[in-house]
Amino acid sequence: MPTYTDEGIVLRRIDYGESDRILTVLTREHGKIGVIARGARRPQSRLAARTDLFVRSRMQLAKGRGELDVLTQAEPLAAPAMAHDARRAACAALCAELTDRVLENHHADAEIYTLVAAALRACADPARDPRAAIVWFARRMIDRLGYAPQLHECASCERTLPAQPAGFSVTAGGLLCAGCAVHDPGAIECSVRVIKVLRTAASGDADLWARLRLDAATLAVLELIVERELEQHLDRRLRSFDVLRAIEGSGEVGLQLH
């Protein structure tokens, strides 16, 4: 079988047979691919830790006869330590699930690959709030899907928004002035602070975003906005939002990754 090497991130994995694993891997040069890691679950297998979720490796793969390529070797480049931090692991899982849902197989996009790798690093960084990382990542993905929201003019009447609270309407595609927001019962109330943060995210300045210190209330609104947007644009819910919400509500500190 012909072989090739590429850098890849494990987005999803399932156990297969007695000792194998089937992986969904985002690669830099070949896009999202399906991979089988034979014998990865055996106690002495060198592939065991290298096929964990969110691990980034330099992989050697062989072209399979079916839809799955075969992982023959992997040298880890980054392995975020999140297995014992439920909140960070849930945020990383959300990034991985969103990536898996949005991307088609075998469509390479080096910019997306870099974005995903950065998001997973941010989720694992003890100096950063992982929920801020998922908001940033989701905003970038929504923009790349072509659904960047209208944030400076009312998405309904198109008048310039004054410096006051507004409503965010997923169906209208952005912020609504006070007069228009009353006609959208699903509009999410946004403070002036939230609006400023939304505009900062839209600017695409990753360094500025990393310097922001977002309080819990602001993060909760931002997270709700991107959750609603993704549900609207993907026509499905991301399960990881429910997992994250359950962890936040229970104060759970450990999580078993699968």
pLDDT digits (tens, 9 = 90+) for 123-133: 999 889 999 99
Residue 89 in tokens: 């692991």
Residues of the chain above pLDDT 90, percent: 83
Domain shared by 234 and 110, yes or no: yes
How confident is the model at residue 254, as a pLDDT? 37
Mean pLDDT of the chain: 92
CB 8 within 8 A of CB 66: no
Look up residue 36 and give its two tokens: 């089988």
DSSP H helices, 183-252, are 192-203, 206-211, 216-234, 239-250
- Per-residue confidence (pLDDT) for residue 1, from 0 to 100: 66
What is the mean pLDDT of the segment spanning 123-151? 94
235: tokens are 């026509």
Domain termination site, one of 46, 78, 110: 78
SS3 198: helix
Residues near 183 by beta carbon (within 8 Å), at least 6 away in sequence: 156
DSSP 3-state of 168 = strand
User: Total domain count for the chain?
Assistant: 2
Provide the residue range defining the domain that includes 37: 3-78
Domain assignment of residue 175, yes or no: no
- pLDDT at site 201: 95
Are 139 and 213 within one domain? yes
Answer with the one of 32, 47, 78 that is the final residue of a domain.
78
* Domain CATH code at residue 37: 2.40.50.140
Strands (E), the chain: 3-16, 20-27, 31-37, 56-62, 68-78, 166-169, 174-176, 188-190
101 vs 78: CA distance, rounded Å: 23
The confidence score (pLDDT) of residue 250 equals: 59
Number of Cβ within a 10 Å radius of residue 79 = 17
Is it the case that residue 145 has pLDDT exceeding 50? Answer: yes
Least confident among 27-31, 79-83, 156-160: 79-83
Backbone angles phi, psi at 31, to 5 degrees: 75, -155
Residues 96 and 200 in one domain: yes
> In the 8-state DSSP scheme, what is residue 51?
G
Residue the block writes with tokens 């509500």: 249
Is residue 230 predicted with pLDDT exceeding 80? yes
Q: Based on the domain organization, do 144 and 33 belong to the same domain?
A: no
